[in-house]
Amino acid sequence: MIPALALVLGVTLGLVLEPTVPAALQPYLPIAVVAALDAVFGAVRAQLEGIFDDRVFVVSFVSNVLVAGLVVFLGDQLGVGGQLSTGVVVVLGIRIFSNAAAIRRRVFHA
Amino acid sequence: MTLPAEPGAAGPDSPGSLLRRLLTPRFRRVDLAVAALLAVLGFAAVIQVRSTQAEGPLAAARQGDLVQILDELTNRNDRLREEISALEQARREITTGTDRSEAALAEARRRAQLLGVLAGTVPAAGPGLRLTISDPRGQIGPEVLLNALEELRAAGAEALQLEGATAGGTPAPPAVRVVASTSFLEGEDGGVLVDGTLLQPPYRFVVVGDPATLATALSIPGGVEDDVVQRGGRALVERSEDVRVTAVRPLPEPRYARPAA
């Protein structure tokens, strides 16, 4: 309940404040968002399976974001930033899909 | 610790207890951290979506596409630049052409005015003199006036008109513009017919030209003034810096003569 309200609050804040992304953060923000989404989907799945742990969620969320940003940063330094962010997005996307599939099985039993 | 993404081994809760657990607010510190993270996620996702929309379609385009678009823009720019220079060239040509034809028109107008002074179709003004010839004895005929006219022309008269009193005393004295084709005839009972207009003495020449030269030409011994005096009349010369020759004549259309280049 509280987390859902917090999510709505964050979205509302973003819509109301209309901040611009700092130029230094621009390459990392989309990757960070995708990594966080991966963590959130994993958390929903764990919740449904009854193994959700707040601590695990917080750590996985932060580490997901940090690692994704680090990978993109490294790629930028090596000159393969574009390809590496594509790779990160693909991997995270696969994880999101598999989590979504597990949630679907749990919820609809199908 | 178990990763949230790992498939859970523990058995699922019954749906009712899960729902109840989810709807019960809990305020441990770690719950607040979860809430904060989700708020940050929502915030970041929204501003990312916003900035992507603000950057427009080019932000999402691939490098190759961008290069192609840039290329096309450059080509189009070049074409438009060429078009601009061609149009500017055309405009310059048109402008100078207009200037030329305007100059030609002004020159033609000027020449028409000058020729109009010669042909007597426009009024003329300038320095000159008025020569009044009285004829109390009726001795002054067309030949005297013709002599006077030729003397004036020889002295550089540029525009002339001849005025006279009317026989019946009409309010405005008749005035005839004197040009190359002007004729002088003896009137039936005194007076002179100038181009078909009967003028009675005293006659008055209104002449535009150099006043000094004209006056000198009239007063030479044996000249016009002497002649008039011998015939019992008087010749009165008034110089003026502003003489107005106001009589005009219509321009006759030549019936036979055509301009030959």
* Cα distance between the two ends of chain A: 26
Greatest mean pLDDT among A29-38, B41-50, B77-86:
B77-86
Model pLDDT, residue B6? 41
pLDDT grade for B86, boundaries at 50, 70 and 90: very high
Interface test with chain B among A33, A58, A91, by most B beta carbons within 10 Å: A33
**Do residues B198 and B187 make contact, with C-beta atoms less than 8 angstroms apart?**
yes
Taking only the tens place, the pLDDT of each residue in B2-14 is 444 444 334 445 5
What burial letters (b/e) apply to A1-23, b meaning 16+ CB within 10 Å? ebbeebbeebbebbeeeeeebee
Model pLDDT, residue B21? 62
Which residue among A3, A11, A53 places its CB closest to the CB of B2?
Answer: A53
Model pLDDT, residue B8? 39
Model pLDDT, residue B15? 58
Q: Give chain B's domains with CATH numbers.
A: 125-245 (3.30.70.1880)
Number of CB pairs, chain A paired with chain B, less than 8 A apart: 148
- DSSP 8-state symbol, B173: P
- B35 pLDDT higher than 80: yes
Taking only the tens place, the pLDDT of each residue in B188-229 is 777 888 888 888 888 899 999 999 998 988 888 888 888 888
Helix (H) or strand (E) holding B241: strand B234-245
Instruction: For chain B, give the percent of residues with pLDDT over 70.
Output: 85
- For residue A27, which residues of chain B lie inside 8 Å, CB to CB? none
What parts of chain A have a pLDDT lower than 50? none
**Mean local confidence (pLDDT), B148-154:** 90
Interface contact A55, partner B, CB < 8 A: yes
Taking only the tens place, the pLDDT of each residue in B99-132 is 888 999 999 999 988 888 888 888 999 999 999 9
CA-closest candidate to residue B162, choices B53, A8, B151, B148:
B148
- B133 pLDDT higher than 60: yes
Is the preceding omega at residue B202 within 30 degrees of 0, hence cis? Answer: yes
If you average pLDDT over every residue of chain B, what do you get? 83
* Measured distance CA(B75)–CA(B69) in Å, rounded: 10
- Residue B70 C-alpha, separation from nearest chain A C-alpha, in angstroms: 21
CA-closest candidate to residue B25, choices A96, A56, A2, A75:
A2
- Residue A76 C-alpha, separation from nearest chain B C-alpha, in angstroms: 16
By DSSP bridging, strand B184-186 and strand B124-134 are: unpaired
What's the gap between Cα B145 and its chain centre? Answer: 46
Among left, alpha and beta (phi > 0; psi -120 to 50; other), residue A14 is: alpha
Q: CA–CA distance from B247 to each of A40, B40, B123, B129 (Å)?
A: 109, 102, 6, 16
Q: CA–CA distance from B112 to each of B72, B106, B108, B116, B117 (Å)?
A: 59, 10, 6, 6, 9
- DSSP 8-state symbol, B223: S
Which residue among A13, A41, A99 places its CB closest to the CB of B43?
Answer: A13
Instruction: For chain B, give the percent of residues with pLDDT over 90.
Output: 23
ipTM: 0.82
